[in-house]
Amino acid sequence: MSSHAVRILALLTGTPRPFREDGTMSAIARQPVTGPVMLGELGFVGDAVADTVHHGGPDMAIHHYPFDHYSFWQQRLDSHKLLQKPGAFGENISTRGLVETDMRIGDRFRLGEALVELTKGRQPCWKLDHRFGVSGKQSVMAEIVRTARCGFYYRVLEPGRVQSGDVMRLVEQGPSAWTVDRVFKLLVGGQYKAEPEAVRALADLPQLAADWRKRAAALAD
């Protein structure tokens, strides 16, 4: 981890809106917010999700995507216009200096006034490909699965106000064995067959989001 404290480059919120012609709704097109925003158990005031089965809830209250990865995606996606500023991946917060190979499940951060805990990586879905207008070899979803450039989710342990420019400071590290990169590759990237004992251990990791503990238990059977 390049620093135990980074600044929030952007805080973004949004509500569901039409996403494609079949009536599918999504809040992925989040927009930057200025000034303090209250963060509670289910996320930021003014933010919502359309797909409440796969998104949202206490274990996925905040979506954080590293701006560090944008240069990679700019090269891969021919400097797509969405990559000119934070928000391309539907994230709530954007930072530099915190990436999946350093971040651990259970890491706790003081985020503005709030206290949050890292619960899981973000499992990509088809909406990213649709948003960027790509498919096949250019698939964003497939490339995230391959490279684990997935971003993170957090639960909120203490509510509080947060704003762009606030410091995000690590106050407690999670278990060293469970970087987001490793856990994502085990549970999403297909490496579970090579490390069955690790997957069984993940099923009992209390800091891990409940749906990923369930996934680990199923993969371990």
Q: Which helix (H) or strand (E) holds 7?
A: strand 5-7
pLDDT score recorded for residue 115 = 99
pLDDT exceeds 60 at position 202:
yes
pLDDT score recorded for residue 54 = 72
100-146 pLDDT, tens digit each:
999 999 999 999 999 999 999 999 999 999 999 999 989 999 999 99
| pTM of this structure | 0.95
pLDDT score recorded for residue 27 = 94
43-66 pLDDT, tens digit each:
999 999 887 777 789 999 999 999
Q: List residues bridging with 110 in a β-sheet.
A: 115, 169
Q: What does the pLDDT average to over 83-95?
A: 98
Q: At what angle do helices 210-220 and 180-187 cross, to 10 degrees?
A: 50
Write out the DSSP string of 14-67: ---EE-STT--EE--S-EE--S-EEEETTEETT---S-TTTS-SGGGSEEEEEG
Q: What domains are defined for the chain?
A: 5-175 (2.40.33.20)
Name the nearest CA neighbour of 18 among 130, 109, 94: 130
pLDDT score recorded for residue 2 = 46
Q: In angstroms, what CA-CA distances link 97 with 34, 102, 106, 176?
A: 22, 9, 18, 18
